[in-house]
Each structure stands twice: as C-alpha cells, then as structure tokens.
Amino acid sequence: RICSILTQWGGQVSDLKGADLSLLQSKASDHLLRRLAEYPEMLTDAAADLAPHALAFYLRDLAGDFHTFYNADRVLVDDPALKLTRLALLSATRQVLENGLKVLGVSAPAKM
C-alpha cells in the first residue's frame, strides 16, 4: 500500500527530506511516529537478547499503526506541505518495514 501511494505521488523520496513533521497533528500520526522512533532500540535489544520474535512483533505493531494512520488521514491532499510531510512519514514507515523484514530474512515486495 505504501509503495502504491508513493508511486501514485510520482515524486522522488529525496524531495521528502525537508518535510515539516510539526504538521502531523493527528493521534494516528503521533502513534506511528512514536513506533518508528522505537525501532533502533528495539532492534538492539532484540539482537542482544537473541529474540527475533521481538522484531516480528514490532513489525506487526508498526503495520497496525500504519493502517490506523492510513484510515484516519488522507495522504495525497491538496496542501503541498502537508502532503510531503505525510509522504515522508509513509516513506520512513516503508523503510523500517523493509529493513526489519530483511533482518528476519523475509522479502518485502513493492507490489502484491
């Protein structure tokens, strides 16, 4: 779903670097941002504890937070700044999901 939205947008991921995250005002976007921020520490802890299931559970919860955000906030809106900010959040989510799945040895196809 994320890849589809980014393709529909048609821009370059590098265009999202200057996104103003303060524009994300919804509860759903806040939960997603917080979950993304947990990734480095969670991954370190999972590796130290030899607990790949912790990463799998984290990715499941991240996907759930993404779906909540997706259902609550339209991404491709008319406001250019808000659109870029929401796209940046999606891009970050896609990257973390892809990285986490790679650690587990699972592929992350761009299309189903």
Please state the domain extents for the chain: 1-9+40-102
Q: What is the torsion angle, in degrees rounded to the nearest 10, for the CA atoms of residue 14, residue 16, residue 20 and residue 22?
A: -130
Classify 1-9+40-102 by CATH class.
Answer: mainly alpha
Q: What's the pLDDT at 108?
A: 82
Q: How far apart are CA 70 and CA 37, in angstroms?
A: 18
Position 109 confidence tier, pLDDT thresholds 50, 70, 90: confident
Mean of the per-residue pLDDT values for the chain?
95
Cβ-based neighbours of 100, under 8 Å, separated by 6 or more: 39, 43, 55, 58, 59, 62
Give yes or no for residue 52 having a pLDDT over 80. yes
Q: What is the mean pLDDT of residues 16-25?
A: 94
Q: What is the mean pLDDT of residues 6-22?
A: 92
